[in-house]
Structure 1
Amino acid sequence: MEQRASQENIHEDLEDQEGEYPTWVVSTLTTVLVVTISGDIVGNLLVITSVFRNKKLRKSGNAFVVSLAVADLLVAFYPYPLVLLAIFNQGWKMGYVHCQMSGFFMGLSVISSVFNITGIAVNRYCYICHSVWYPRLFSNTSTVCYVGLVWTLSLAAILPNLFLESLRYDPRVFSCTFAQSVSSLYTIVIVVFHFFLPIGVVSYCYLRIWVLVLNTRHRVRPGRHLQAQTWPYNLHGFITMFAVFVLFAVCWGPLNIIGLTVAIYPSLGGSIPHWLFVASYFMAYFNSCLNAVVYGALNKNFRREYKRIVLKIFQLA
């Protein structure tokens, strides 16, 4: 009872904090969110279109890339615009249902992003380190099943929020989001099993690939599991996806660390510095527009297809 009362007091304190930001802070948050939404929509639509248009990109492994782009688009079309409206209205005026749906889709997006990044890492690991097994493990049919599993597990992970009533409006970030202090057990499970554990799997996969890369460069020839004719492509593709993983971990890490800390020590919920909490949220939001930039910067096939699509649009206009 004392813990629940403490949690309710924290929530009430948060409600009292609404509208405390100076104009320049609100303007900065608005700018970050507008840039995020614009970059998210344009960039991820380019990614999806590129994969379907370019035969070199239309391979089973990129199914996770498309799925990750869909997860990023999910928040750009619904939750983020509602956050903008909350900023403009200086509070949540869209009602209870939109609050619950906004928080639900935001959670679904981030968890599916983690699982898609894990799928990409496992796919790259099998393709580079165990190329003999790869065709059997990642056929077109099996890959579609893996992507379906990613979204099924993501949905299962986020559904308990609707029963725990843990999706609430937080005036500090102008968002209806997961209230970390509502259920310590659920918060710990989500953070550990749906962030840190997948990050551990991804780290293992990329560590093994890096070891193989270094050994291969040292021997000046492809390793026994590598196909010499595809090794340069494997290396460039690996670096691209590794960069996506690093950016995701950097952007979402602070928020998950805060969530885990608050879950273990609920009394600290009200003592998290405002600037740190807000910065961690908007860093996490900003991640949704970065992946397309990484693909364009590091992958020549994506970069070339981006140019073709943009030129085609200008010709039609």
Structure 2
Amino acid sequence: MQTPEEAELCFPQLLNTSCKKHIRPQAEAMLIYIVLSSISLLTAALNLLVIISISHFRQLHTPTNLLLLSLAVSDFLVGLLVMPFQILLTEPCWLLGDLLCPLYYFINFTILGASVVNMVLISVDRYVAICDPLHYPTKITTERVQIWVFLCWGYSVFYSIMFLYDNLKQPGKYNSCYGECVINIIGAVDLIFSFIIPISAIIILYVRVFAVAVSQARAMRSHITAVTLKSSATVTVKKSELKGARTLGVVVAVFLMCYCPYYCVSLSGYDLVMGSSTDILSGFLIFFNSCLNPVIYAFLYPWFRKSVKLIVTLEILQPHSCETNIL
């Protein structure tokens, strides 16, 4: 029978080297499991709908949608792989061994990194489409986008290996006791390459897109002379301006909302200790961005709503359903 002291240890057989358990109240633990599991399932389900839609319907096989597909794959993997392991990190003890700890963070950084880079690529795609529409078909081709996607994932893997090299080389090096999952990272480097550079690129590109869209709308307005068309044209222009501003605001605000807390904690010198409330909250805010991406990038498209209806009603199982006109 265990003594009270042994019951508080992650590994009672290792009295001198085992970590102590940090037990949460049962109600708090249940709330965490329910919320995080729900977000994980929702993230995987929403992004799976995007993947099926773009992959199945031939009308959606465009360069832009290929980027959306890559983004959906990375976000789907967040819900399928990253979030369930993060739930394990909320446990009082890490029971999966020293090797799986840095390996989890490697998968984490790779998938999240690919998600962020995909967002930048989507911004570039929209920038060329709005600012240089005449050359868009020749500049943004399916073959080039496929190369971009390949480089996106390759960069994410390479960056994660370099970033976590010391942790992967000596798993458990930074653990103070058995039952702990701690990695050592350079917060400033991660801040620059995973946050400052991507968000700066997104903001610059979307501001330019918005400016060009507004200038084009004003140019169209100045050429309208018929009095009967003035009111309707003005409404159209205003809707276009508001839609551009709303899209820019949603993209930037959601990204900042989800990523800022984590990087503020990282800059404060806080160690990524498993199970801490700060770690859980800041980590899942980033993961929640993967849940919101399908809403931001896909749910705003009418074709997605139609394709979801066809998927849910199982009409995609009909012969030649891939040729369905959903645009």
TM range (shorter): 0.7 to 0.9
Tell me what 1:128 maps to: 130
Note the C-alpha offset of 1:254: 1.4
Change (3 A) 1:199 1:17: farther
Do 1:121 and 1:241's aligned partners in 2 also have CA atoms closer than 8 Å?
no
Give 1:56 deviation, angstroms.
4.1
> Given the superposition, is the C-alpha separation of residues 151 and 68 from structure 1 closer, same or farther in structure 2, using an over 3 Å criterion?
same
How far does residue 77 in structure 1 lie from its aligned partner after superposition?
2.6
Q: Is the 8 A contact 2:44 2:76 kept in 1?
A: yes
Q: Contact 1:48 / 1:66 at 8 angstroms: preserved in 2?
A: yes
Q: 1:18 to 1:108 in 2, by over 3 A?
A: farther
Task: Verify: 1:98 aligned to 2:100, yes or no.
Answer: yes
Partner of 2:321: none
1:134-158 deviation digits (Å, cap 9, x = unpaired): 2222111111011111111111110
What secondary structure sits across from 2:313 in the alignment?
A: helix
Q: What is the CA distance between 1:244 and its match in structure 2?
A: 4.6
Structure 1 equivalent of residue 47 of structure 2: 44
Matches within 5 A, 1:28-43: 28-43=31-46
Which residue does the alignment assign to 1:258? 265
Letter in 2 for 1:204: I
Does residue 80 (structure 1) correspond to residue 87 (structure 2)? The answer is no
Q: Number of matched residues?
A: 279
Number of the residue aligned with 2:287: 285
| Cα distance in structure 2, aligned partners of 1:239 and 1:53 | 30
Q: CA deviation at 1:107?
A: 0.7
What is the distance in 2 between the residues matched to 1:300 and 1:91?
A: 46
Mapped pair 1:248 → 2:255: yes
Which residue in the other structure is 2:207 paired with?
207
Contact 1:123–1:138 (Cα < 8 Å) also in 2: yes
Partners in 2 of 1:305 and 1:240 — Cα distance? Answer: 22
Offset from partner CA, 1:100-158 (integer Å, 9 cap, x none): 32111111011111111000001100111111222222111111011111111111110
Given the superposition, is the C-alpha separation of residues 138 and 176 from structure 1 closer, same or farther in structure 2, using an over 3 Å criterion? farther
Mapped to 1, the partners of 2:65 and 2:115 lie a distance apart of 14
- Post-superposition offset of 1:295: 4.3
Whether the 8 Å contact between 1:240 and 1:299 is mirrored in structure 2 is no
Amino acid at match of 2:202: V
Counterpart of 1:3?
none
Residues 44 and 78, structure 2, Cα contact 8 Å, conserved in 1: no
Name the residue aligned to 1:265: none
Q: Residues 1-317 of structure 1 correspond to what in structure 2 (within 5 A)?
A: 18-87=21-90, 90-165=92-167, 179=183, 182-184=184-186, 187-220=187-220, 243-244=250-251, 246-262=253-269, 275-295=277-297, 297-312=299-314
Distance 1:296 1:192, change over 3 A: closer
Aligned Cα root-mean-square deviation (Å): 3.6
Whether the 8 Å CA contact 1:236–1:298 is kept in 2: the answer is no
Which residue in the other structure is 2:323 paired with? none
* Alpha-carbon separation, structure 1, partners of 2:56 and 2:245: 22
For 2:285 and 2:185, how far apart are their aligned partners in 1? 24
| Contact 1:46-1:306 within 8 A present in 2 as well | yes
Separation in structure 2 between the aligned mates of residue 121 and residue 241 of structure 1, nearest angstrom: 10
Contact 1:255 1:284 in 2 (8 A): yes
Match of 2:5 in 1: none
| Counterpart code for 1:116 | N
Larger % of helix: which? 1
Structure 2 contact 93–180 (Cα < 8 Å) conserved: no
Greater mean deviation of Cα atoms: 77-86 or 127-136:
77-86
Deviation string, structure 1 residues 15-54 (Cα, Å, up to 9, x no partner): 9685243333322321222112211221111001111233
- Tell me if structure 1 keeps the 8 A contact 2:255–2:289: yes
Aligned residues with identical type, % of pairs: 27
After TM superposition, the score normalised by the length of structure 2 is 0.73
Q: Aligned partners of 2:259 and 2:249: how far apart in 1?
A: 15
Q: Distance in 1 between matches of 2:243 and 2:53?
A: 17
Task: Note closer, same or farther for the CA distance 1:115–1:44 as it changes in structure 2 (3 Å cut).
Answer: same
Q: CA deviation at 1:86?
A: 4.7
* CA distance in structure 2 between the partners assigned to 1:147 and 1:252 by the alignment: 22
Larger Cα-atom Rg: 2
Structure 2 gap segments, 5+ residues each: 1-17, 224-236, 319-327
